[in-house]
Copies of this chain bind each other. A is one copy, B any other.
Amino acid sequence: MNPWKELRRIDHEVYLLRHVSSLLGWDQETYMPIRGIEERAEQISLLETLIHSKIVSPATREALEGAKEQLDEEQFATEIGGESHVRPFTPIQRAAFLREWDRRVARASKIPTSLVSRMAYATSVGQAKWAQAKKEASFELFKPYLQEILILTRELAGALGFRETPYDPLVDEYEPGMTCAVLSPLFEQLRKDLVPLFREIVSASTVDDRCLHLPFPKEAQEEFGMRILQAMGFPFERARLDVSVHPFTSTLGADDVRITTRYNPTYFPTAIFGIIHEAGHGLYDLGFGDEIRGTILAEGVSLGIHESQSRFWENYIGRNKAFWTYWYPILQKEYLKDLSLVPFDTFLLSINRVQPSLIRVEADEVSYPLHIILRYNLEKALVEDSLSISDLPAAWNDGMVELLGIKPSHDGEGVLQDIHWSMGSFGYFPTYALGTLYAAQFYSSLLKDHPQVLQEIEQGKYGTIVQWLREKVHTLGKIFTAEELCRQITGSPIDPGYFLRYVREKYLHRIS
């Protein structure tokens, strides 16, 4: 048996099974009847167990080791079989493929299969319980399930192993190579600069954003959102838009990427910016190069880089003056006639209003990273067992006051607002802030590469942007690491300076 051929076969099977598992998850959040959850949890658990078993199987290890040797001997000729989905790799792709499989096998081998299945079950049930708890604003309802998930998470961190903190192997799952040794000082610096900057912006301007709180039927919002998606080149023959409690993007196939949003009938920015945000994720997953199609390399580099794409579209494009120069007249004329007497500047200030806010996904782009810093500190403490779950709601509220100067009136708009912990996704939140920083850095490069792009945005044209992102980020998939990619695109490693300069420029010099 040719080990390359065998490894490519296994790789593609895992690729397919992961998408099947994604369908189970997508359906659970969108269309599944409520009582389907019990068996769905079992189904997901079984799928995850199957995937895990396949990754750690002796056949996989053998193929991986064999492929590495063949790489050394440069015997690539027999690499590909007759399967249409297997395309030849370049040497760089081959090396990346082995790097990713090495990482995957190394991580998976440390995790007992029983833990995979217990975690899959606990989080599947946990998500349903979280949704109910959030609806009823009852942390008590969610508490035992979160406790169970946290215990399994600590078990997971222990199994993966760590030097300094059990949080490190968790964040590494989402942002390969990242550790608290890097994150903690980065976030501390960001906090020190951003908290006073945020306060300065808030006190420098008072915005009356009543124009955003107008009745706007769900169907019309959806239609407007679909129109923006079409302009962004979101390909509906390969993608969908649906509704879920918590917006997300899920990839169910190489040509099947689904985004969701939620509609607030009297506050349309929720849905519209949510759609633009998720479409940014979606375009990434729809843009992987043909040569890496159907392989482990057809994935985002890291969640931070993934989030850079969604934040890029949501904030740097979607909240841009040039963007609404095109869309505002259309919105006024065709969708929301109540806006016809609202001046453009009022609208623009409203959608860029900076203020202390409770809900992360609706936060302005300035205070957004502060929401993340709060979650980072809390979840790190939970994992390190220096904070108990009973004390979590109070710690949340205290942190909100400290960082944002505002306190939730109930847990539904506080500690229960995010789905992540119910999914067992500890270590995920930091990637949102990293994404924000990457996006600022990429945006700066785009403007350098294409100085005319703002004029194109004013005409509702995004071809240059999509093309640029595709070439610089999307087609490459997981070939390069986050650090390599950031250096390639911007000439420097991740640097919060870009974001802070963008904020100062936009909010203290231009808009206000």
Interface residues of A (CB under 8 A from B): 13, 16-17, 19-20, 23-24, 27, 31-36, 38-40, 42-43, 46-47, 50, 85, 235-240, 242, 252-256, 258, 294
Contacts and interface: CB of A to CB of B under 8 A. Distances in A.
B43 A16 contact: yes
A35 B85 contact: no
Contact of A39 (B19, B32, B43, B47): B19
Contacts of A19: 39, 43
A202 to B, nearest CB: 42
Given A20-B24, A43-B20, A47-B20, A256 B85 contact: no
B16 A46 contact: yes
B85 A32 contact: no
11 contacts: A16-B46, A20-B46, A31-B31, A32-B252, A33-B240, A36-B238, A36-B252, A38-B253, A39-B256, A42-B85, A50-B50
Nearest to A21: B20
Contacts of A39: 16, 19, 253-256, 294
A38 to B, nearest CB: 7
A16 B42 contact: yes
A325 to B, nearest CB: 32
A322 B240 CA distance: 44
B253 A34 contact: no
Contacts of A253: 36, 38-40, 43
A24 to B, nearest CB: 7
Contacts of A258: 33
Nearest to A256: B36
Contacts of A46: 13, 16-17, 20
Contacts of A252: 32, 36
**5 nearest A-B pairs in the assembled complex, by CB-CB distance:** A36-B256, A39-B253, A35-B255, A35-B238, A35-B237
Contacts of A47: 20
Contacts of A42: 16, 85
A290 B294 CA distance: 41
A236 B33 contact: yes
Contacts of A43: 16, 19-20, 253
Contacts of A31: 31, 240, 242
A40 B85 contact: no
A240 B23 CA distance: 17
A27 B32 CA distance: 11
Contacts of A294: 39
Nearest to A37: B255
Contacts of A24: 20, 23
Contacts of A34: 237
A35 B237 CA distance: 6
Nearest to A40: B253
A411 B278 CA distance: 43
A495 B101 CA distance: 62
A85 B46 CA distance: 14
Contacts of A13: 46
A235 B38 CA distance: 16
A33 B237 contact: yes
Contacts of A36: 238, 252-253, 255-256
Contacts of A35: 235, 237-238, 255-256
A448 to B, nearest CB: 35
A35 B33 CA distance: 26
Contacts of A237: 33-35
Contacts of A32: 252, 256
Contact of A27 (B17, B23, B239): B23
Contacts of A240: 31, 33
A13 B253 CA distance: 24
Contacts of A254: 38-39
